[in-house]
Amino acid sequence: MIELENVAYSYGGGELLSEISLKLSPGSFHFLTGPSGAGKTTFLKLCYGALVPTAGHTRLFGADVRDMSRDDVAMMRRRVGVVHQDCQFLDHLSVTENVALPLTVAGQDSIAELSNLRELLKWVGLSNRAEALPPELSGGERQRAALARAVIMSPDVILADEPTGNIDWEMSQRLLQLLLELNRMGKTIMVATHDLNLIRAAKNQVQARVLRISNRRLQLAGADL
């Protein structure tokens, strides 16, 4: 689905990532760890075509990102849902309207999708906040709204960048359960996190592979996590 082969990425004259190779197979669950500044967000951007590697090859659903037009990338992005670390929303739109934005951008009739949208908001526990504006949401509610928006197009892959970084443990557990449920539905999941307790909690429930970025390279983390 997503394959990186000897990928490197340089920024500002320095190499941030080097010699990275990885295949994300259908239905797999990965955690991505590493210290702040190690390149986790950059790595995720390479995985969904927001960045082109300065060396090596990134293949998204069989196509090399270097050979893809902007339209190709836009179409591919419908198959990859991204939960961004900063959870950006349009503050003048309701939660429902923000979650439905990918449908609007794709030219799909959000009215026809209204029942699915209601079910999705119910699934993430936001039915009673459907008409709220983003500034009115708590941190946990924002993260769940971000997840709902990421999966509204029923993507094959979900990439989440520090989704529990600004919420308490109880809400982190709730968000993890949603991600695990998506994985049980056959979705490929990658979660970038520094929270080792979250990883430990997940490993009791799913066969998760834990990766670590260290010294610009991607390594398989030890079994002591």
pLDDT computed for residue 70 by the predictor? 87
Q: Dihedral sign, CA of 90, 91, 93, 97?
A: positive
Q: Do residues 189 and 158 make contact, with C-beta atoms less than 8 angstroms apart?
A: yes
Cα–Cα distance between 83 and 165 in angstroms, integer? 12
Average pLDDT over the chain reads 90
pLDDT of 222 reads 58
Say what the pLDDT of residue 60 is.
94
* Closest to 180 measured CA to CA, from 202, 209, 156: 202
Other beta carbons within 10 angstroms of residue 180's beta carbon come to 17
Element (H, E) at 66: none
- What are φ and ψ of residue 30, in 5° steps? -125, 145
Q: Residue 223: its pLDDT value, please?
A: 45
Which regions in the chain score pLDDT beneath 70?
A: 109-113, 222-225
* DSSP state for residue 28 in the 8-state scheme: -
| Placement of tokens 């941030």 in the chain | 16
Whole-angstrom distance, CA of residue 206 vs CA of residue 159: 17
209-212 long-range contacts (CB < 8 A, ≥24 apart) are 209/28, 209/29, 209/30, 209/31, 210/30, 210/31, 210/33, 211/22, 211/30, 211/31, 211/32, 211/33, 212/32, 212/33, 212/34
Cα–Cα distance for residue pair 44/48, rounded to 1 Å: 7
Element (H, E) at 160: strand 157-161
